[in-house]
Amino acid sequence: MRFFIPQDTSALACGAEAVAQALLDANIEPVRNGSRGMFWLEPLLEVETAQGRIGFGPVSDKDVATILKALESDASSHDLYLGAVDEIEYLASQQRLTYTRAGLGDPLCLENYQALDGFNGLKRALTMSPQQIVDEIKNSGLRGRGGAAFPAGIKWQTVLDAGATDSQKYIVCNADEGDSGTFADRLLMESDPYQLIEGMVIAGLAVGATQGYIYLRSEYPVAHRLLNTAIEKAMEANFLGDNIGQSGKSFYLEVRLGAGAYICGEETSLLESLEGKRGMVRAKPPLPAIEGLFGQPTVVNNVLTLAAVSTILAQGAKTYQDFGMGRSRGTLAIQLAGNIKRGGLIELAFGVTLREVVENYGQGTYSGRPIRAIQVGGPLGAFLPESQWDTPLDYEAFAAIKAMIGHGGIVVFDDSADMAAQARFSMEFCVEESCGKCTPCRIGSVRGVEVIDRIVANEDRDNNMILLHDLCDTMEQGSLCAMGGMTPFPVRSALTHFAQDFTGAGKGDN
Amino acid sequence: MGSSQTEQQTIAALVDQYRDLPGGLLPLLHAVQAEIGHVPDSAVMTIAKGLNLSRAEVHGVISFYHDFKTQPVGRNRVQICRAEACQSMGSRHLESYAKQRLGIDYHQTTDDGNISLEPVYCLGNCACSPSVRVNDDVFARVDQDRFDQLIADLGGE
Ligand SMILES: Cc1cc2nc3c(=O)[nH]c(=O)nc-3n(C[C@H](O)[C@H](O)[C@H](O)COP(=O)(O)O)c2cc1C
Ligand code: SF4
């Protein structure tokens, strides 16, 4: 019997280390796998038995003895018994293309990765010309998963065509994942880091880049450790470095840590930061694809965009393209978070409605109270009232209601939420995280906090309401990037859909 | 002023190590902070000289990022997530409790030098909120009792 207990951040945060220790104390050396993404079940203890892989969860160190005992006779008699993990509805009903390996084994085991189809995409890419690889990505319909949903193939074409044939080009992976309610990049890096590495090497082959950087937020120490080890091992096995797999092609990869600035997730700010500067957003043009890192042609893609590349190359553009709706092709890594009973990662084809996700997968709030608002797409995303929950998760459908899918984070609030306080926080967050380049963003957000305070305090209400809308207009129109340009989205949605919270009656208690 | 000779040697050695790394200033600042606990004023001059930058440029970078501290901090760093997912699970209560329990505000250190309290915007543990990070460990579903226990585990006083 083999035992699995994850080394994923959320599993550890829920007590996985103590469970691992309890197993060691019982003379069992568990595999430290990644997480399956069913965080409500973490720590999820899995056991490989003659009847397949069964699970128990959420377990604490105190449950280990009784689980071991139950395994000797009838495992299903244990209170925490979950049956075959692959058959848990939450997981079984997903359409996993990117997270197929997540949680299955030791994320650093190269043999395991290859046994589960790892590096098949790279092997195929090595037989193709750069233009063929770029065409494959174009045909897949893959759009950037970092938020802006820009077609990846078009960006790659620009970088492929940019500069002289021998000019230094870069692949930069945006692993800054700053949106609250998101953890998909982290889960991928902690559960299947080689997939990201593979995608980056393929990107390098496609555009002619030999150096890659993963810009990782400093809030992710576990991912940092795992990525560094994965890179070392991939170097040793010649999946990275000089003359990869005797192909004559080279690619080097390095992880760089951010330093706690949300704005550094914006690609030009990120590039400034990588160059060792303040993370001030750059005006575009020039596009990073033409003048990016150190002034050279640069691909900047999100973790999930690059991970999807390895799947697309392995399984073909057509397979990927067959998932999704409209112009949103492939699968979306939905992250269900906040006040939710069953939070976790849900990978599904685009097109599922918000309500289906929150009700069927999430099973309502953690507190057991009614859901009041849902924020999709991070701190710059609108707060959606119940009337909008039937919107399908599709980039265009969300844009049509002045909302955004962004990186796919869904934060659920119950009926104790004070939406005026949330609107105030949106402005406050902008004050805290603005890079400071544009006045509407830097100063407008400070004024926004003050004005919301006055409205809630019932001071000169009507005029302050007008002022707040004016401020929002100015921020939307006069900001260089979406930080200042979209902070008004959550604010306005709160004003529109939860107006009663701004009357100063003192709603909610969180 | 006030900086020991060994501190200066540490900084000089790190500058040597990172000076040729492209875009090496952030990795260097992280390394200095990992060794010394903060980036002392005395480091700014050495770094500026080593990397061929002005002191204002180095200072500008340090002040831009929340992570870099210019003053000594506590032996342990406790960060409370202030972002939306944690708010939806009551982190605002936790924040005020933590401040009251430790007798300090954000960006302050307890009198015994044991704990510095900081806000953080998301730890990527948003399905198991509220989250707290203590040094390099993240903790899920932290209520007041759990917070007390985490603090007790850090000893001090
Ligand atoms: C304020 C702001 C924050 C952003 N944060 C992130 C982030 O954390 N991760 C990310 O991948 N993209 C982020 N983006 C989007 C990037 O600017 C960029 O579009 C993305 O890295 C491109 O990669 P993709 O095409 O693969 O999505 C952010 C954008 C803005 C305006
Ligand atoms: S909108 Fe804000 S964050 Fe974006 S460039 Fe302007 S000041 Fe910087």
Nearest to B57 by CA among A272, A499, A128, A456: A272
> Where does a domain end: A357, A390, A414?
A414
Domain count for chain A: 4
Q: Are residues A253 and A356 in the same domain?
A: no
State pLDDT tens for residues A372-381: 999 999 999 9
Q: What is the CATH number of the domain that holds A249?
A: 3.40.50.11540
pLDDT at position B3 over 90:
no
- Say if residue A307's pLDDT is above 80: yes
Tens-place pLDDT, residues A46-71: 999 988 999 999 999 999 999 999 99
Give the A:B interface size as CB pairs under 8 Å: 154
**Partners of A83 in beta bridges:** A55
Q: At which of A414, A440, A474 does a domain end?
A: A414
Pocket test for ligand 1, best of A159, A174, A483 (most atoms within 8 A of CB): A174
A54, two tokens? 């069964």
Per-domain residue ranges of chain B = 5-64, 76-153
- Give B138's strand partners: B133
Q: Do A14 and B121 touch (CB under 8 A)?
A: no
pLDDT, one tens digit per residue, over B37-71 is 999 999 999 999 999 999 999 999 999 999 999 99
Cβ neighbors of B26 (< 8 A, separation 6 or more) are A256, A257, A258, A259, A273, A274, A276, B61, B65
CB of A102 within 8 A of CB of A189? no
Nearest CA to ligand 1 atom 22: A301
Task: Show the domain range for A457.
Answer: 419-503
Distances (CA, A) of A114 to A99, A195, A246, A313: 15, 10, 18, 15
**Under a CB-based contact definition with an 8 Å cutoff, are residues A320 and A121 in contact?**
no
DSSP helix/strand/coil, A441: helix
Model confidence at A509: pLDDT above 80:
no
Q: Would you say residue A86 lies in a domain?
A: yes
Q: Which residue of A lies nearest to B89 if distances are taken between CA atoms?
A: A339
Query: Which positions 423-442 of A are in contact with B (Cβ < 8 Å)?
Result: 425, 429, 432-433
- Answer yes or no: is pLDDT of A309 > 80: yes
Which residues line the pocket of ligand 1, CB cutoff 6 A?
A: A 144-148, 150, 174, 176-178, 263, 265-267, 300-302, 305, 481-483
Return left, alpha or beta for A458; rule: phi > 0 is left, psi -120 to 50 is alpha, else beta.
left
> Hey, is B49 helix, strand or coil?
helix
* Judgement on whether residues A205 and A302 belong to the same structural domain of the protein: yes
A232 and A192 share a domain?
yes
> For residue A437, which atom of ligand 2 is closest to its CA?
7
Judgement on whether residues A288 and A154 belong to the same structural domain of the protein: yes
Domain C-terminal end among A359, A382, A414: A414
Is A97 a member of any domain?
no
Q: Is there a single domain that holds both residue A17 and residue A37?
A: yes
Give the tens place of pLDDT for each residue, A407-444.
Answer: 999 999 999 999 999 999 999 999 999 999 999 999 99
Best of B18, B19, B21, B26 to disrupt the A interface by mutation (most A CBs within 10 Å)?
B26
* Residues B144, B97 contacting (CB under 8 angstroms): yes
Q: In this structure, are strands A409-414 and A331-338 parallel, antiparallel, or unpaired?
A: parallel
Q: Report the chain A residue with the minimal C-alpha distance to residue B96.
A: A510
Same domain, A227 and A331: no
Fold of B76-153: Glutaredoxin (3.40.30)
Outline where DSSP puts E strands in B37-155: 76-81, 108-109, 115-120, 132-134, 137-139
Q: What is the ipTM of this complex?
A: 0.97
Contacts of B126 in chain A (CB under 8 A): 180-183, 335, 337-338, 343, 409, 411
For residue A508, is pLDDT > 70? no
What pLDDT does A478 receive? 96
- Say whether pTM exceeds 0.95: yes
Q: Is A491 in contact with A427 (CB distance < 8 Å)? A: yes
Handedness of CA A110, A111, A112, A114 (dihedral sign): positive
User: Residue A505: its pLDDT value, please?
Assistant: 67
- What pLDDT does A491 receive? 98
What pLDDT is stored for residue A210 in this prediction?
A: 97
What's the one-letter identity of residue A214?
Answer: I
Same domain membership, residue A329 and residue A195: no
Angstroms from B9 CA to nearest CA on chain A = 23
Angle A146-A149-A151 from CA coordinates, rounded to 5°: 115
Beta strands in A100-210 (DSSP E): 170-175
Do A473 and A439 share a structural domain?
yes
**A86/A124 same-domain check:** no
Would you say residue A102 lies in a domain?
no
CA A266 to ligand 2 centroid distance, Å? 10
Distance separating alpha carbons of residues A338 and A350, to the nearest angstrom: 22
Please report, rounded to a whole number, the percentage of residues in chain A having pLDDT higher than 90: 97
Please tell me whether residues A228 and A376 are part of one structural domain: no
Please report residues of A whose CB lies closer than 8 A to that of B127: 10, 39-40, 183, 335-337, 340, 343-344
pLDDT averaged over chain A? 97
Summarize pLDDT for A104-156 with one digit per residue, the tens. Answer: 999 999 999 999 999 999 999 999 999 999 999 999 999 999 999 999 999 99
Q: Which residues contact A452 (CB under 8 A, 6 or more apart)?
A: A420, A423, A424, A427, A468, A491, A502
Cβ contacts of B22 on chain A, cutoff 8 Å? 275, 294
Domain CATH code at residue A493:
1.20.1440.230
Give dist(CA A406, CA A144) in Å, integer. Answer: 10
CATH number at residue A39: 3.40.30.10
Q: With beta carbons under 8 A apart, name residues in chain A contacting B34.
A: none
